[in-house]
Amino acid sequence: MRFVTKTRLDYLQSMIQAMGNDDEHKLALHILESIKRDIEENYAEIKKPIRLHDKLKDRSENTY
């Protein structure tokens, strides 16, 4: 996870925790943790963007 993203998520978590400890806040923290997990698990997939220009160029060079 990018440091900037982690910093923002951590800040959001501290804001939610400061609001209280009722069921809605617990749910918000649970959702936030789920988002963090999803980002960590899927980061490798989004780390390197797909470059369509390069893909199309390769395809056109291999056309007979």
Q: What is the DSSP letter of 27?
A: H
- Residue 8 and residue 58: Cα distance in Å, rounded? 39
In this prediction, residue 4 carries a pLDDT of 81
Q: What is the pLDDT of residues 15-60, one digit of tens each?
A: 988 988 899 989 999 999 999 988 888 876 555 555 666 555 555 5
Helix then strand count (H, E) for the chain reads 3, 0
In this prediction, residue 42 carries a pLDDT of 80
